[in-house]
Amino acid sequence: MTHSHDVLIVGGGLVGASLAIALDRLGLDVGLVEATPAGTLPAVFDQRNLSFAAATVNALTALGVMARLRAPTGAIRRIHVSRRGEFGRVRLDAADYGVEAFGQVVVARDFGEALEARLDELTNLTRYRPARFAGLGSSEDGLRRIRITDAQGERELRARLLVGADGNHSGVRGALGIGVREHDYGQTLFVTRMRAERAPDGTAYERFGDHGPTALLPRGDRHYGVIHGVARDQADAVAALDDAGWCERIQQAFGWRVGRLLAAGERSRYPIVRMVAEDTIGERAVLLGNAAQTIHPIGAQGFNLGLRDALTLAEQLDGAADPGDPALLQHYRQRRREDRERTLAFSDQLARLTASDAPLLRPLRSLGLLAADASPSLQGWLVGGAMGFRGDVPQLCRGEGR
C-alpha cells in the first residue's frame, strides 16, 4: 500500500523549501517533490539579489534559516527612489520608523545553500528528487492521488493536501484546471553585481528610466546588487555589451550617486511576464508563491509574498484534523486575499508607471515622487511594501509565535 503524506509539496524552490521547514515544526508528515537532483541547487537559486522584507527576515530567523547563511547579508537602512531627468525623489530612512533596517539583501544562491542545510536537518520530511510532477489521479477517501516520474518511471503518491509550489509555469495549476491571467511587460531585466568608487552604505537605490528601472542594492560583500530593466527589443544588444560598455550604460542610467562604477560580474537576464492564477485553491490543493502569482520584480515582492502564503498555510494547518479540509482551504484563501491583492496592485502600478515614457506623464510622475517624499500616507504605502506587513500578517513574520 502506498504511503500517504499529510502534505505533498511539488517544487523545492524558495517557497516550497521554506514551507517544508515551517511544516516540519508542526510534526506533519511532509513529502517534497523537486525536479533538480540531490547535490545540485534548483536553477532559481542563481545570482539574483533578493531583498528580504523585515517580515521575511523575522520569519526566516525563527525558522533557523538566517543562521545557516554563510555569506554576509546587506542591511537596507535607507531607500532612495528617483527618476532620470526629473526633479522629484523619495527618501525613506528606517530610523524614522523606529527600526534598524527595512530588510536585508541576500544572494539567491546563498539562500539556496542555507535552505538546503536546514532541509537536511528535518526529521519528518521525505524528499523525492529528481522527480517531476506528472499529473493528478482521483481524489477519494480523503486523499489526493499525485503521479510523479523519477528514475524508476511513473508512480503514484498520496496526500491529504497537495501544495503546488512549482513556479510560474506550474504543472499543478494546469492539472487542477486553474486558469492564469498573463501580462507581458515587454521588458527584460538584467541582474549582476557591481563595484563602485563608494561602497554600499545601507542605501537601496531605485532609479526609473524611460524603458525600465535600475536598482542598486547594498549587498553584504561590498558590491551592489544591480538590476537593470530594458525594453525587450534592446535586450540582445545589451547582452552583447562588454564590461566597459555595460558599466557605461549603468552609469548613464543610474547617475553618480555612488561615484564611478568600476567593475561588473556575470550578467543574467529574465523576460518579465506577470502571471496571476484565477484561484489559489482547488480540491485538496493549494497554489503558493510563483505558481499562484508571478509578479514584476521591481518592488522586490515575489518571494516575500510567497513566503507569507506559505506561513499562513502553515498556521492554518497547525493542529488541523484534516489538512485538506475545504473549509480550512477557504479560510486560507480569505486570509491571503488582502495582502495578495494589495501587493499585486503595488508591483503592477510601480512597473507600469516606471515603464511608461509618455512625455505628458513626466511632470505628474515628478510631482508624485515629490508628494511621496512629503506625504506620510504615500510613504506608508511604500514602507508597508518594503517591510512586508500587509493585511493578515503571519505570526512568524511579526517575530511572534513558534
Ligand X SMILES: Cc1cc2nc3c(=O)[nH]c(=O)nc-3n(C[C@H](O)[C@H](O)[C@H](O)COP(=O)(O)OP(=O)(O)OC[C@H]3O[C@@H](n4cnc5c(N)ncnc54)[C@H](O)[C@@H]3O)c2cc1C
Q: State which residue, 303 or 346, has the beta carbon closest to ligand X.
A: 303
Q: What residue spans of 255-398 are helical by DSSP H?
A: 302-317, 326-355, 362-374, 376-387
Q: State which residue, 134 or 370, has the beta carbon closest to ligand X.
A: 134
Binding segment (CB under 6 A) for ligand X, from list 62-70, 165-173, 193-201, 325-333: 165-173
Q: Does 97 bind ligand X (CB under 6 A)?
A: no
- Distance from CA of residue 375 to its chain's centroid? 28
Q: State which residue, 297 or 323, has the beta carbon closest to ligand X.
A: 297
Q: Which of residues 267-296 bind ligand X (CB under 6 A)?
A: 270, 289-291
Cell 493542529 sits at which residue?
Answer: 319
Q: Does 103 bind ligand X (CB under 6 A)?
A: no
Nearest distance, CB of residue 199 and ligand X, angstroms: 20
Residue whose CB is nearest to ligand X in the complex, by number: 13
What is the dihedral sign for C-alpha 200, 82, 213, 239? Answer: negative
Nearest distance, CB of residue 398 and ligand X, angstroms: 18
Nearest distance, CB of residue 56 and ligand X, angstroms: 7
Q: Are 284 and 162 in contact (CB under 8 A)?
A: yes
Distance CA 40, CA 130 (A): 10
> Got the DSSP string for 155-185?
EEEEEEEEEE---TT-HHHHHTT--EEEEEE
Q: State which residue, 71 or 370, has the beta carbon closest to ligand X.
A: 71
Q: Does 167 bind ligand X (CB under 6 A)?
A: yes
Q: State which residue, 189 or 311, has the beta carbon closest to ligand X.
A: 189
What is the dihedral sign for C-alpha 235, 237, 239, 245? Answer: negative
Q: Does 164 bind ligand X (CB under 6 A)?
A: no
The three cell numbers of residue 59 are 520569519
Among 22, 44, 90, 350, binds ligand X (CB under 6 A): 44
Q: Does 47 bind ligand X (CB under 6 A)?
A: no
Among 6, 24, 110, 166, binds ligand X (CB under 6 A): 166
B/e letters for 373-386, b = 16+ CB within 10 Å, e = fewer, are eeeeeebeebbbbb
Interface mask toward ligand X for 305-344; x: CB under 6 A: -x--------------------------------------
**Residues in CB range of 382: below 8 A, 6 or more apart:** 79, 81, 90, 92, 372
Distance CA 28, CA 6 (A): 6
Q: State which residue, 51 or 379, has the beta carbon closest to ligand X.
A: 51
Describe the chain by its helix, strand, coil percentages, rounded to 5.
Answer: 35, 30, 30
Interface mask toward ligand X for 14-33; x: CB under 6 A: xxx----------------x
Please state whether beta strands 293-294 and 49-53 pair in parallel, antiparallel, or not at all (unpaired).
unpaired
Q: State which residue, 36 or 139, has the beta carbon closest to ligand X.
A: 36
Interface residues with ligand X (CB under 6 A) are 10-16, 33-36, 42, 44, 48, 50-51, 132-133, 165-167, 171, 189, 191, 270, 289-291, 297, 300-304, 306
